[in-house]
Structure 1
């Protein structure tokens, strides 16, 4: 079996019958063993829709002995056969799979239901780019799969994508489309950044003003915060609780866990605009605050009062009802302390708690919610600042995990302190950063991070070894949307780099100096055709298309300011 077209690269491939093809046609049955029914439904709804093949349920799907390498009992009649296999689980883990295509059958054995699903994603790639369309493009009676065998399993359990829907709201349909794109790349954690200064995107029934007020801003800064330009139209939107239930269920059917982020104590002006008592009312007139319209680090932070604690406990009660996953992200990054230093209320809280300074209030607050979550069987995860300001001394639970975004240092410190880590350093995997140094990159903020740069990202730094290295749960690519006003811009920044990231998170690759980028580029030739079929408006290898370029003259931004580096 030719592995050169598969992304992420599989662990091993074997050509059973070189050059031979396994046909699928209107008579091909699809038989699903226990626990694999969700994947069977996905195959019929997705591959069936693209190919026009009915993939009718097969009878007697699995009479072979569980846990053996023997053929399925009904395979002699041909078809597509799905099952879970204890033997595959022992060898490859619950997300591993074995895909075998001979002259008349395709068999996918998964270590667990998720493994079967990832094997189905590989089958889709083997069928060719037209299998990624939503309907057949012409009469085609037979589809073929190259004969061979694949054994595959992920390197990391956490293969994540963070979508910032707070800065620019992503409508539900676009978000569901991104879940499908994640599944196509074998990513399994969607981190939704739901709240920030510029918008609150989650309905909380106890506090309706969070969306009545906090989900809408009067206007929006165009480009970087130094720009003098504005989009004077109001911007906003939010997900109802039923929307969230739909999103979570849609993701779960694709073996993707949704991790919500409710930011605190910084990045909270939208919440304060809705409920001014959450702010430092003895320092500023919080009643006059609106939802923030520009970008950067906002000085308006939550007040460290019992009112704030009870408010966010009530918010999180509803969050836990909506998101059944283990982790809840509480932000914890970029929290200025100036208002606390000026606030008599905050200083009194410091004395009451026996802290040494207001700098420790953030650690105290996050420690409180970390324990609150732990008591309910959940785990706090936050940006690497959650280890600062006396967080460990204040009792941040050992079950808390860290998203290491300011390089690797936070993740290294967290792992050595006994915390699990998700590596997402901005220098490597912030996909809002520009993809090339050219003058035509749209709103060219941040570092230049090319497709090759992302491909050479290594989640486990050499400073971590043994048990410390095992605390790296995995990696995550982050898509912040300050300068991404719609799905087209998100597509441009995210792809094709997300394909490179997906391979680094899934595949067992050599260290970056030896990593074969040329092979990846060759496989990307086929993958671009898949992205085209999916309607993804990615950045082409040769540079942006004319309508993707930055407006301006002679390589200068439209606002006349230099690019941010």
Structure 2
């Protein structure tokens, strides 16, 4: 951001806006003068971001000139609505908070073993059965504690279109994900013929189900129908098909079967003018041409994807998984994963390559049963992430921290349930929902083993 301050306060009144195609599409120039306020944007998106900056400056806008543009085109957040369903109003609220921080991609994780959240014409049991589980786990899966309370919900097609339209008005692209061929127990619970002999309920435990899709022609046709409906609802050029954490024990072959499956889904989506967006596991055996890789298993998969010529969205778990604990304070709610502080997020830097589209912070909601819990885990770390993907590579955490105090006042006015910088409050804890903290060393060793297939 280039800022030039001038004496005085900008005059109140209408804001004059205009398109200036000499600017980058998401760039803007904001002039605040004693005669008025003017925003020039490279597109409507640029004007929108100029307005966000103006909103953050508050009512007494100082005179000056601000020239600004983002460093990355993909400034994303994954929101997992499969593990805990989030009502439409809460999703729209989250979109508003994203837009306020100039984040522009909502990766919506719509299906998993623990719940199916999207209706599909001709497959009613996906929502009448697959969208509901009899109970949920309390705390990390290692403790085996369940709450005995049914949980569920799904989005109608009309509701999904509402989310897409609302986000588009705020220059946020919704990238849908229907995970396949693993993480499919909810669908198989609804239609056992899609599986490999499993005839049971939607999964109530966290973790990875061993029950995956069979790869019969009928099941492949089911997947194509699901993706066709997703394409009808979501205009995003990228469609997420997951591909992560897929056990092969139920198949007569090995990992090459998943590679062939992914290629078929990519071919089908190409016929709809779309490209696949998949987790870095699809690199094993060779990802389809044109696939965009969400590199999550540490930082190595991004380099592997780049070397293979694939575009990459960087979301390494040890840097950008916002379900990971924020401190070692015993009052943190369900502390899992490695320690990921505000400074850890702020210090993350994606690899320098033209194939890196940007980065994405992920909010997996096994331990976030409400929007308030999501906000607590997301903010202010998402504020730090927003600067990583918008601002320059040369950043200073002390300078950011000084500005953050004022920004938290803005979040207070918006009613955001952010984590205080001083640490968790008594009400932030989750009694009876114990966590499972990990050391960074242990996690890195695990990641090296997990990604050995990519070397």
Is the TM-score greater than 0.5? Answer: yes
Deviation at 1:83, TM superposition (A): 0.9
* Residue of structure 2 aligned with 1:13, choices 3, 6, 17: 3
Alignment coverage as a number of residue pairs: 439
Name the SS of the counterpart of 2:177 in structure 1: strand
* Residue of structure 2 aligned with 1:220, choices 136, 161, 171: 136
* Residue of structure 1 aligned with 2:398, choices 513, 518, 540: 518
Deviation at 1:266, TM superposition (A): 0.7
Name the SS of the counterpart of 2:309 in structure 1: coil
Query: Structure 1 pair 539/405, CA: closer, same or farther in 2 (3 Å)?
Result: same
Partner of 1:177 in structure 2? 93
Deviation at 1:163, TM superposition (A): 0.2
Deviation at 1:561, TM superposition (A): 7.2
Partner of 2:80 in structure 1? 164
Query: Structure 1 pair 148/562, CA: closer, same or farther in 2 (3 Å)?
Result: closer
* Residue of structure 1 aligned with 2:337, choices 423, 443, 446: 446
Does structure 1 retain, via aligned residues, the 8 Å contact 2:142–2:436?
A: no
Deviation at 1:227, TM superposition (A): 2.0
Residues 1:317 and 2:254 aligned together: no
Partner of 1:208 in structure 2? 124
Deviation at 1:339, TM superposition (A): 1.1
Partner of 2:158 in structure 1? 242
* Residue of structure 2 aligned with 1:290, choices 177, 197, 201: 201
Residues 1:366 and 2:262 aligned together: yes
Does structure 2 retain, via aligned residues, the 8 Å contact 1:23–1:144?
A: no
Residues 1:82 and 2:3 aligned together: no
Q: Distance in 1 between matches of 2:296 and 2:130?
A: 26
Deviation at 1:509, TM superposition (A): 2.9
Q: Structure 1 unaligned segments of length 5 or more: list them.
A: 1-10, 30-79, 128-142, 341-346, 348-356, 552-557
Deviation at 1:474, TM superposition (A): 0.2
Q: Distance in 1 between matches of 2:157 and 2:83?
A: 20
Deviation at 1:147, TM superposition (A): 0.3
Partner of 1:413 in structure 2? 304
Does structure 2 retain, via aligned residues, the 8 Å contact 1:430–1:478?
A: yes
Q: Distance in 2 between matches of 1:411 and 1:86?
A: 33
Name the SS of the counterpart of 1:489 in structure 2: helix
* Residue of structure 2 aligned with 1:493, choices 365, 377, 383: 377
Name the SS of the counterpart of 2:427 in structure 1: helix
Q: Distance in 2 between matches of 1:407 and 1:255?
A: 29
* Residue of structure 1 aligned with 2:49, choices 84, 107, 118: 118
Q: Structure 2 unaligned segments of length 5 or more: list them.
A: 440-455
Residues 1:563 and 2:437 aligned together: yes
Q: Distance in 1 between matches of 2:119 and 2:177?
A: 14
Deviation at 1:172, TM superposition (A): 0.6
Query: Structure 1 pair 410/100, CA: closer, same or farther in 2 (3 Å)?
Result: same
Does structure 2 retain, via aligned residues, the 8 Å contact 1:228–1:559?
A: no
Residues 1:99 and 2:30 aligned together: yes
> Could you report, residue by residue, the CA deviation over 1:76-125 in whole angstroms, capped at 9, with x for unpaired residues?
xxxx10111123x2xxx100000011112111000111101000100101
Does structure 2 retain, via aligned residues, the 8 Å contact 1:199–1:270?
A: yes
Name the SS of the counterpart of 1:244 in structure 2: helix
Deviation at 1:155, TM superposition (A): 0.3
Q: Distance in 1 between matches of 2:430 and 2:254?
A: 43
* Residue of structure 1 aligned with 2:245, choices 334, 338, 352: 334
Deviation at 1:559, TM superposition (A): 6.4
Deviation at 1:476, TM superposition (A): 0.1
Partner of 1:62 in structure 2? none
Q: Distance in 2 between matches of 1:503 and 1:294?
A: 36
> Could you report, residue by residue, the CA deviation over 1:250-303 in whole angstroms, capped at 9, with x for unpaired residues?
00000000000000111000000011111013xxxx23x110001111100110
Q: Distance in 1 between matches of 2:150 and 2:207?
A: 19
Name the SS of the counterpart of 1:264 in structure 2: coil
Deviation at 1:432, TM superposition (A): 0.1
Deviation at 1:549, TM superposition (A): 2.4
Q: Distance in 1 between matches of 2:309 and 2:344?
A: 30
Does structure 2 retain, via aligned residues, the 8 Å contact 1:404–1:410?
A: yes
Does structure 2 retain, via aligned residues, the 8 Å contact 1:200–1:270?
A: yes
Name the SS of the counterpart of 2:60 in structure 1: strand
Q: Distance in 1 between matches of 2:31 and 2:240?
A: 39
Deviation at 1:23, TM superposition (A): 2.7
Once superposed, which parts of structure 1, at least 4 consecutive aligned residues long, lie more than 6 Å away? none
Q: Distance in 2 between matches of 1:472 and 1:96?
A: 19
Q: Distance in 1 between matches of 2:433 and 2:61?
A: 52
TM score, norm. by length of structure 2 = 0.94
Does structure 1 retain, via aligned residues, the 8 Å contact 2:84–2:365?
A: yes
Partner of 1:45 in structure 2? none
Deviation at 1:187, TM superposition (A): 0.3
Does structure 1 retain, via aligned residues, the 8 Å contact 2:9–2:63?
A: yes
Deviation at 1:228, TM superposition (A): 3.5
Q: Distance in 1 between matches of 2:189 and 2:29?
A: 53
Q: Distance in 1 between matches of 2:259 and 2:17?
A: 48
Deviation at 1:480, TM superposition (A): 0.2
Does structure 1 retain, via aligned residues, the 8 Å contact 2:139–2:434?
A: no
Q: Distance in 2 between matches of 1:404 and 1:524?
A: 29
Does structure 1 retain, via aligned residues, the 8 Å contact 2:139–2:435?
A: no
Deviation at 1:560, TM superposition (A): 6.9
Partner of 1:502 in structure 2? 386
